[in-house]
Chain A
Amino acid sequence: MSARISKGGRLLDPSKRLSFSFNGRNLFGFQGDTLASALLANDQVLIGRSFKYHRPRGIVSSGVEEPNALMSLGHGANFEPNRSATTIELLDGLEVISQNHLGSLEWDFGFINNFFAKIFPAGFYYKTFMQPRIAWKHLFEPIIRNAAGLGRAPSLPDEASYEHFYAHVDVLVVGAGLAGLLTTYELGKSGLNVLLVEQKHFLGGHALSGDFEVNGTPIAAWIEKTKQELANLENVQIKKNFTLVGIHDHRYLIGYENLEVAERLGQSAIRHRLWRLRTKKIVLATGAIERPLIFAGNDIPGVMLSSAALEFYKLYGISPGDRTVVVTNNDLAYLAAINLHDAGLSVPLIIDVRDSSNGDLPNLSLSKGIRIEFGKGISSVLGKKRVSGIEMCSLKGEGSVQETIPCDSVAVSGGWSSTLHLWSHCGGKLIWDYKLNTFLPNSSKAPTDENGENFIFVVGSAAGSFCPSQIPQNIKETVSTLLNDFQGVKQKTTKILIREIRYGDCDSTFVTPEGAGEKLKTKCFIDFQNDVKLSDLRLATQEGYESVEHLKRYTTLGMATDQGKLSNINGLKYLANLVGKEIEHVGTTTFRPPYTPISLGSIAGEARKGLFKPVRKTPLHFWHEANGAVWEPVGDWKRPYAYPKSNETIEQAVAREVTSTRHSLGILDASTLGKIIVSGPDAGDFLDLLYTNVMSNLKIGRCRYGLMCNENGFLFDDGVVARLSEESFLCHTTTGGAERVHSWMEEWHQTEWWGKKVFIQNVTEQYTQITLAGPKSRLLLEKLGGSNISSENFKPLDFLEGKLAEIEARIFRVSFSGELSFEIAIPSQNGVEFWQRCFEVGSKFDIIPYGTEALHVMRAEKGFIMIGDETDGTVIPQDLNLGWAVSKKKKDFIGKRAQERIFMADPCRKTLVGLSLQNSSDKIPDGAAVIIGGGGKRSNEVIGHVTSTYFSPTLNKPIAMALLKGGEKLRGKSIEIPMEFDKALKATVVDPKFYDVEGSRQND
């Protein structure tokens, strides 16, 4: 059984007992435990079921590489699935449930899949798509969905808080093991600004489980001392629970800080923080990850990595089992055997697949009387939900059993893989080291920054220095190279001495026995999390998937949440064997960020609920809110759509607003309209190039409606331009168009016409713009007083600068409603005051506020176009009967040449018409297709579509505009709009100006 023992446990605080629940059972651990170590302390060796076959699984590792121990934490709004138990710091009150079983963890009905493993081979999922076709939908999909899929999705919205944090540092050191600490120490002394990040909740990494000395100080004490010394340096910061998950171009990095424990203890309001870092240089001290050896039954609970066995004992005081068999192809695994033996636990046997080793550790084991068998392997692990023994065989051969050894734990080591994911994120290449049996960074193909310089350096076991004694020299040299890029910074080296340990070479063996047949291979698991076996890889290569990228996708090898941290190298080795190549020629799959899974909450950061997206508000927003406005989003703005009264529907409110405006007086908040000042000696010429019509001849004090097209001649914005002075114009844009038009102007000014002397300034937010429309609007302005706006003095398209009700105002006589109408621009800070004055004075004229929908109805009644309704990026002004606003005299303007192309001048282009419905109770859907109608195949050709459609309260009938092929020529003809169930609406093509065609109302 696995249990807590009195020895080891460097990280534990035995005085602080913590309670937690696992599948509803109350268990205990100590401060300093991970969830994994606490489970083992409670003899919880079986911790979950596998993804596909629902096989019993146990904890394999002690770190981020863990494939099996995925748990669901918490409940309700705090529920979180698929968290790796080895990376969770134990907390008092933690609620944990295991995953992937139908029924209980002990008795899982899904285990039946295991007996049908033959029908779930590699590519099974893809094969279900093929034959018979009907089977996928009704048979396979429901079964697969039910059986597979790790943890459940949370059922409630997450209540925790997340945020982003941006930081710039000179050097980032990743990993606070021996190498990371030494590097930070050396860099810190140089005065550079250094950030050291460590993914675990403690410093020291694997070194903390070691027994060597640094400069005569035992390692654990040295780590503590170094931590203190670094804390005293102002230029150095250390972050624990911080994983660097991605390295991107331009030295941009993503880090993930886990603050769950602090949050739970009330010390942090934030659960996860996403760091967005920029750094000059990065030092990777990311260490190495041990790989398992592969043999039949290697996934039975109780089989774990030798490094995990060692770490669980050294850091958490855990005995992985009473009798532990060690199986290895290298010297380092002997550390587990020696330590467990010294702790008084039984280590009946070390199986070493090598022929011999003359390293210090095997010799030490022998001297302690531990039995070592060289040249042997494991034929099978015995046991179902827990290891009960192993069958030893000769490494060579097919696995005939030589001896059965009872044990309840197997510590396995298939060598170490340097952790180089981050090196690869930004293009660093790898090179296979035959002696160390790992990929190492290829320093001649290092990741480079925007200047082509190497910006990532690798130290420690990530660089292949597996013996601690090699590390100080390696760091001294690396830091020296790194500092070359910091001018005036001097290296201050501290002498570090670590006694050398002699290691025997690591062997390339990864499967035992070498000649394992198919029967054993179907029990040889290579990727635990996705249930991929040696037999699956063999089948896939047999079916032609020989490229590593194809093999990965077909078998799902390395595609689980652990991203194949344990399985990739073994998979590549086996593929190399199968296709008869060396591993370096097989290639690797691409390492992509994130290095470990991160929460979606951290990616969203604070951008949720009210902070999801900015809402722009006019100075009058609060008034609209207080007066019951329903909103319409326009760009980032919120505009009042209508102001329904309590007894009204929205449609009724719109009708009332239209009618009231047409009869007496309506007031509209038009502040969102874009306002851009173009000023300078060449302003007129510049605008002539941007607008389709002439602006340079506009008189001071006058306005003109203008159109803007893009290079292809298509209309993209419209608005009124006013000439403020000889050199200064004010250009109005659509609500959503201000920023776009401003950048458009800047771009043409900066890239094409930089010689033109103009300044372009966006002053949209400087003004509260208010429209007063209706036959009584002039009466109101006169009542407010201060400016002469009589019909003789102030003609349509005039503007003046003056005062209204003692408030500074710019008054434009423009109309988008077809009524007598004035637009008034007030400096933003005075907008509210003016608006309120209008209501005070306007009550006797029955003033009412109207929203965007009433505005739209009124403009449609007048046949005025709306950018985005009548235009869709393929419409030229001529299509909208706006040819009058396109200059024929001007030598050039943006869009001119495009509009001269044959296609643009084609008389068959769709042009704007009005539609009058024959049955006035019908409603035309927006965007509906239009046909000639009358039955027969030919007549069903679509000739255009409806661009705007409203019910006109003024005319008491539905009106619509459409872009139709032939346009004007169809005037008076009837067309049809096909609807559901073979029905069609019948309409007559008419002039799009439905109301007051002569314009007598607005010109009053």
Chain B
Amino acid sequence: MIEVRKHESKEILIKEFEGVGMITLRGNFSNKSFQKALTESCKLGVPKPLSIKSNKDLSLAWMSPDELLLIIHTDGKTEKIKKELGFSLEGMHSLVLDVSGSRKIFMIEGTLWRELLAKGSPVDLRKKSFTKGSFLRTRIGQVSVAFWMVSNNSVYVICGRSYSSFFYEWLCNAAVDGSLRKFF
């Protein structure tokens, strides 16, 4: 994971990263063999809709009823995990694709990160609704994104690589001093 750039305002720290390993996984979630293959290769089970599961090395996010996104937090392991997954899913109708170059990942830190995202995202960001383990695909401003909590004070946001410079500008603008008021 390489930090591309960062921006700091009084309340918010925005960091943009690339080179985060990501694998798209398509398959039939209710198929026992699919579940088994997943547990074997990732040590993670299928996450519930709109949620993400994580362990030390990996996060597994629910993207749609037949699509998962595997995020590899440890550098250099993507190829190996992709091979393992391909091997254990052999013969099953499934798809494993390395999409590490498709997206950029942003870390937004600061107690007011919910307020920042609420400037552009129509989802329910109340503490009781969006919690640790929630994973939502939505939009922020005019950019389609997905996000999940890292800690109580930080969140990861992913967006398409081609939109990342626009999105970075959007985030910096939304983080301008004096524009964030505690709401959540």
Contact = CB atoms under 8 A, between A and B. Distances in A.
Interface in A151-208: 161, 163-168, 193
A276 B122 contact: yes
Contact of A193 (B120, B126, B160, B178): B126
Nearest to B182: A237
Contacts of B183: 165, 167, 237
Counting chain B residues whose Cβ lies within 8 A of the other chain, the interface size class is: 35 or more
A463 B24 CA distance: 56
Interface string A737-757: 000000000000000000001
A679 interface: yes
A165 B95 contact: no
B161 A828 contact: yes
Contact of B166 (A166, A614, A765): A614
A267 interface: yes
A611 B170 contact: yes
B163 A614 contact: yes
A763 interface: yes
A850 interface: no
A165 B184 CA distance: 12
Contacts of A610: 169
Interface in A737-788: 757, 759, 761, 763-768
A827 B101 contact: yes
B119 interface: yes
B84 interface: no
Interface stretch (A46-54, A464-472, A615-623): A615-623
Contact of B118 (A165, A607, A618, A681): A165
Contact of B95 (A616, A677, A827): A677
A768 B18 CA distance: 15
Contacts, number: 122
A835 interface: no
Contacts of A828: 101-102, 161
Given A168-B129, A614-B142, A827 B100 contact: yes
B93 interface: yes
Contact of B99 (A606, A681, A766, A768): A766
Contacts of B143: 614
Interface in B100-138: 100-103, 115, 118-126, 128-129
Nearest to B26: A759
User: Would you call the interface of chain B mostly helix, strand, loop, or mixed?
Assistant: loop
B119 A619 contact: no
B179 interface: yes
A79 B129 CA distance: 42
Given A679-B95, A829-B101, A617 B118 contact: no
Most chain A CB within 10 A, of B26, B101, B103, is at B101
A681 B93 contact: yes
A984 to B, nearest CB: 45
Contact of B119 (A606, A615, A764): A606
Interface string B1-37: 0000000000000000011000010100000000000
B129 to A, nearest CB: 7
Most chain A CB within 10 A, of B19, B161, B166, B167, is at B161
Contacts of A167: 118, 125, 183
B96 to A, nearest CB: 10
A615 B93 CA distance: 36
Interface string A680-703: 110000000000000000000000
Nearest to A678: B95
Contact of B178 (A269, A763, A829): A269
B19 to A, nearest CB: 6
Contact of B123 (A166, A606, A679): A166
Given A166-B121, A680-B95, A829-B18, A765 B101 contact: yes
B174 interface: yes
Most chain A CB within 10 A, of B95, B103, B173, is at B95
Given A614-B143, A761-B26, A677 B119 contact: no
B39 interface: no
A168 B101 CA distance: 35
Contacts of B177: 269
A161 B160 contact: no
B160 A765 contact: yes
B151 interface: no
A268 interface: yes
A757 B126 contact: no
A163 B162 contact: no
A437 B163 CA distance: 58
A741 B172 CA distance: 33
Most chain B CB within 10 A, of A161, A610, A759, A827, is at A759
Contacts of A266: 178
B66 interface: yes
B126 A168 contact: yes
A864 interface: no
Contacts of B47: none
Given A619-B161, A759-B94, 6 more contacts: A161-B179, A165-B119, A606-B119, A765-B102, A766-B100, A827-B98
* 3 tightest Cβ-Cβ pairs between the two chains A and B: A828-B101, A269-B178, A616-B162
17 contacts: A161-B176, A163-B179, A165-B115, A165-B119, A166-B121, A268-B178, A269-B178, A611-B169, A614-B167, A615-B165, A677-B95, A761-B24, A763-B99, A766-B102, A827-B100, A828-B101, A828-B161
